[in-house]
Structure 1
Amino acid sequence: MKKEILLIRHTTPEVEKGICYGQLDLDVTANFEQEASEIAQSINGFNPDVIFSSPLQRCRKLANHLFPNHSIDIDERIIEMNFGQWEGQKWEGIERFTIEQWSNNFLNQSPPNGEKFSELLARTNNFFEFLENSNKKYLAVVTHSGVIRSALHKYLAIPPNNIFNLDLHYGCIIKITFKGNNYYQVEFIKG
């Protein structure tokens, strides 16, 4: 059975540049309507059977804007990575050695009281397997760059150390089409 999943990253969050945020529940900027309209044009009337959203408001707002006549399923598995004690801090204010130590082993080491990237991969892998096994044909997922990166890791076999080389802008859209027998395609609709 052919199945299409649209992965949609939230619009620009209302946060000062250089701030570490993952699970910080940020609102969106005043440009939300314009950004959301551009996303709506890019998905060109895509009418999903089910819509999933991260519980964070920057995703819920976009999901409700794009699909006002649908109910939205909130799923904790597609929340952004937890940066623990670093959440809300300026990156430049975090001890350099600590960041370097983490970035050299982010797969297996977490920020203080945060989440390892391997933990993000495990919970999102569980979510994507759930979608693969769903009897729904058209699905939309409004989420975060970390979750989208983990999907690209899964479906394109991009090594975790290279996954952050992808520039996933706010409002990016990626379509994964399953065509049966473990055959699928990944299409970047909006950068």
Structure 2
Amino acid sequence: MTLYIWRHPKPMATDGRCIGQSDVAVDMRKLKRLAHRIERFVRRHQLPKVIWVSPLQRSLKVGQILAQRGFACHVAPELAEINFGKWDGQDWVQIAKQEIDDWCADFAHFAPDGGESLQQLFERVEGWLKIVWAEQNGLAPILAIGHAGWITAAKILAAGHEVPKIAADWPASVTYGECSYLTLSGI
């Protein structure tokens, strides 16, 4: 099965902030631009007009635009970005250095208060991939709009690797609007 997953457009006023499941706004022009690129991609490659999105508006609104253009749009809470709990929405400089140090010391298992660990994110990503794999019998391509952490976790899983144990092993994020192609076999 192939997963084509685009990272949502760049949200507004988020520089220097910890953004996970904070529901931040995106300029409508950027939402429409990504929807147009996805629509052209689907037409060019003759893919099914079915898109999966997270419930966060930076993903959801692109899906809604595509739905107005004839796509079936499915909202999957499992596609949401990592939950940073009490850190979410704060400026990174406001988060206590000791908490950041604790996270780096136990990168895979540390979770901010009310949030989820990287291990939990990976379990959520893998669970969703298994569900869509089964629904598509591992054959039909899946199109989705997601988030950097989610996409990175999916790439790591598709490569057969484990959750990174140290922060230095976390790869660079995909850029806003970038499409990642993942070949999944029996996740």
Q: TM-score range by the shorter chain?
A: 0.7 to 0.9
Which string of whole-angstrom CA distances, capped at 9 and with x for unpartnered residues, describes residues 136-177 of structure 1?
A: 612211111111111111111344336622331111111224
Name the residue aligned to 1:189: none
Q: TM-score, normalised by structure 1?
A: 0.81
Q: Distance in 2 between matches of 1:159 and 1:44?
A: 35
Name the residue aligned to 1:45: 44
Q: Distance in 1 between matches of 2:14 and 2:3?
A: 32
Which string of whole-angstrom CA distances, capped at 9 and with x for unpartnered residues, describes residues 111-148 of structure 1?
A: 12111111111111010011221236122111111111
Assess if the C-alpha contact under 8 Å between 2:152 and 2:171 holds in 1: no
Q: Distance in 1 between matches of 2:180 and 2:43?
A: 13
More strand as a share of residues: 1
Name the residue aligned to 2:131: 130
Counterpart AA for 2:177: G
Assess if the C-alpha contact under 8 Å between 2:122 and 2:163 holds in 1: no
Assess if the C-alpha contact under 8 Å between 2:85 and 2:115 holds in 1: yes
CA gap 1:34/1:70 in 2 versus in 1, 3 angstroms: closer
More helix as a share of residues: 2
Assess if the C-alpha contact under 8 Å between 1:36 and 1:171 holds in 2: no
Q: Distance in 1 between matches of 2:101 and 2:135?
A: 40
Q: Distance in 2 between matches of 1:61 and 1:26?
A: 11
Compute the displacement of 1:51 (Å): 1.8
Compute the displacement of 1:48 (Å): 2.5
| 2:173 maps to 1:164 | no
Assess if the C-alpha contact under 8 Å between 1:53 and 1:74 holds in 2: yes
Assess if the C-alpha contact under 8 Å between 1:11 and 1:36 holds in 2: no
Deviates more, 1:30-39 or 1:9-18: 30-39
Deviates more, 1:87-96 or 1:31-40: 31-40
| 2:112 maps to 1:111 | yes
CA gap 1:169/1:39 in 2 versus in 1, 3 angstroms: farther
Please provide the CA RMSD for this pair: 2.4
Name the residue aligned to 1:79: 80
Q: Distance in 1 between matches of 2:180 and 2:127?
A: 19
Q: Distance in 2 between matches of 1:146 and 1:80?
A: 6
Moved over 6 A (4+): none
Assess if the C-alpha contact under 8 Å between 1:149 and 1:163 holds in 2: no
Identity %: 25
Q: TM-score, normalised by structure 2?
A: 0.83
Assess if the C-alpha contact under 8 Å between 2:158 and 2:183 holds in 1: no
